[in-house]
A and B are shown apart, each in its own frame.
Chain A
Amino acid sequence: MKRPFFLLLAFFSLTALSHSHAQSKFMTKTGRVSFFSASPIEDIEAKNQQVAAVLDFAGSQLAFSVPIKAFVFKRTLMQEHFNENYMESDKFPKATFSGRFVGFDAATLATAGPHNVQVQGDLTLHGVTHHMEAPASVELKDGQLLAFAVFAVATADYNIEIPLLVRSNIAKIVTVRVALACDPVAGGAVGAATPAH
C-alpha cells in the first residue's frame, strides 16, 4: 500500500517539476523603444523599431537587446551626433537589459486584460551598467504578448557627456517608452526547472 502511494507521489512530483505553462516564453525582433527629452529650447525624440526582446514568464526573466544605430531622429544631423558624440555607438553598438519579473505568477497571463508587473534588472547603456526598476504592463492577446513600459533614464548615470553649449537643449532625465508585441517561442521554459504552485 505504501509502495503504490510512493510511486504516485513520485509521478506527481516529476510532473510538477517539469511543468511549464503552455505559452510562457515570448520573443520579438521588431520591438519598439522610443525616448523623449524635453527642454525649453528643443524637444528631442527618437524611435527604434529593431529591438530584440525575450520574455520568459515561467522563469520570471526577460532580456532586451537594443541596437543604438537603429534610433531614428527627425533630423539626420541629430542622429549623427547621437551616434558619434553622445552614445559612441561604434564602441558600444547595443544597449542591453537583463532582468526579472517580481512576484508575477505566469498563470495570471491566462486571464484577459492587461496585468501590472514590476520589472527589476540591470540596464547597460554606453558601457555602464546600472540597476533599475520599472512598472510594466503585460497582456496576452490573440496569442501575442503585448508589453508596455515607461521609465526614466538619467544621462549622467551612464557617462553620457553633454557639452556645456547644448546643456539647455538636452534634458538630464530622458523618458523611455517600450512597446512590444511578442510571439510565443516553441518549447516553453527551457533550462530552468521550477516547481509549479
Chain B
Amino acid sequence: MRHHFYANFCFPGLLLAGLLALASPARAQTDLLRDLEKQTTDSTKREAVAATFKGTHIINSQSVETPGHGTLAFLIQHRFGTLNSGAYEFFGLDQAVLRLSFEYGLSDRLAVGVGRSSQEKTFDGFLKYRALRQSTGAHAAPVSVTLFASSAITTLKFNETANLSERTVGSRMDYAYQVLIARKFSPSLSVQLMPTLIHRNYVALAGMQNDVYAIGAGLRQKLTKRVALTADYFYVLPGYVADNYHNALGLGFDIETGGHVFQLHFTNSKGMTEKFFVPQTDGNFFKGDVYFGFTVARNFTIKSQL
C-alpha cells in the first residue's frame, strides 16, 4: 500500500528533483570559474608595461630601459670605418672604434654605469633613473620617463702645440643630460623622444657653443618575437653646431637570443658616447659616410630575484 502511494505522488516529484540535481553540476562548473574570475578581475590594479625596448640602447641613444634590480649588463659596442672607404680599407672593416660598458641596476628604478670608448680615449660614467613607468589600470601613465645624466672625460694626451694653460682637467670633461620619454604603443611598436643637452667644458674654436641642445627620436618595430627593426635620429637645434656637422641617424636590427641581444646597425656617427654623436657627427649618411657596427649586450644576474 505504501508502494502505491509512492508510485502516484512521490515518485514523479523525486524523479524531477533528481533530474534537476543531475543537470546542474556541468553548468555549475564553468559558473564556478566565471564567478572566480569576476571576483579576481581587479580593474583598479596598476600594471606596469614591461619591455618597451629589448635593451638599454636603441642604436646610438639610450633607451628608457635599465638592467633591472640586481642585474649587470655588459655592452660591447663596435663600429667599423665608413663603407665608402674603398676596397683597400675593406670598406671600412679594417678600422674600428670600440666602447665597452657595464651598467648595474641598483634597484628597479636606478641604474649606474661606466664605459670606456677608444675614441679620444674617453671614460664615461652615468646614472639612469626611471622616474615614471608606463602602466595600465589605476593611476595609469601613458609614457615611461627615464632621466639620464652622464659625464665623460677624455684621457688623450694633449698635442704639444696646444695652448697648455687652457687645457686643464676640467677642459677634458663633457656632460650629457637627457629626458627619455617612451611609449609602448603595441607589443611590437615602441617610440621614444629625447630632449638632450650636451655641455662641453672646452670647445676648440671661438664660434663653437659649449651648450648644445638637441631633440632625439627613436623607435623599435618588432618583426618577429625576437627580431626587431630599430632607428634613432638626433636633431640638433639650429645655431648650436657648425654647418659641417650633421644630425646623427642610425638604422638597425635587434636579434634576441637567450641572454644576449645582438644589435646590428648602420649610422653616420663615428662616436658612441653622447658627447660625440650628438654634436660631432660629421658623416653624411646619403654620401656613403655610413659606419657599420654592432652592439652585443649580455645580462648577468648578480642578485637572484627568487
Contacts and interface: CB of A to CB of B under 8 A. Distances in A.
Interface of A: 2, 6, 9-10, 13, 17, 27, 29, 45-47, 52-54, 56, 59-65, 69, 72-77, 79-80, 83-85, 90, 94, 96, 98-100, 121, 163, 165-166, 169, 191-195
A20 to B, nearest CB: 13
Contacts of B68: 76-77
A6 B5 contact: yes
B51 A80 contact: yes
A74 B303 CA distance: 8
Nearest to B186: A90
B28 A77 contact: no
Contacts, number: 114
Contact of A98 (B30, B47, B51, B71): B30
A183 B29 CA distance: 20
Interface string B100-143: 00000000000000000000000000000000000000000000
A54 B33 CA distance: 8
Contacts of A79: 305
A10 B25 CA distance: 24
A80 B50 contact: yes
Nearest to B14: A13
For chain B, which range describes its interface: under 10, 10 to 19, 20 to 34, or 35 or more residues?
35 or more
A10 B68 CA distance: 68
Interface string B257-286: 111000000000000000000000000000
Nearest to B108: A76
A186 to B, nearest CB: 14
Given A29-B40, A165-B257, A2 B5 contact: yes
8 shortest interchain CB distances as A-B pairs: A76-B68, A63-B33, A74-B304, A74-B306, A52-B40, A98-B33, A75-B301, A63-B32
16 contacts: A29-B40, A61-B25, A61-B29, A73-B306, A74-B305, A75-B301, A75-B305, A77-B259, A84-B50, A98-B29, A98-B33, A99-B29, A100-B29, A121-B29, A191-B24, A191-B31
B108 to A, nearest CB: 8
Given A61-B32, A72-B305, A192 B37 contact: no
A163 B255 CA distance: 13
Nearest to B45: A67
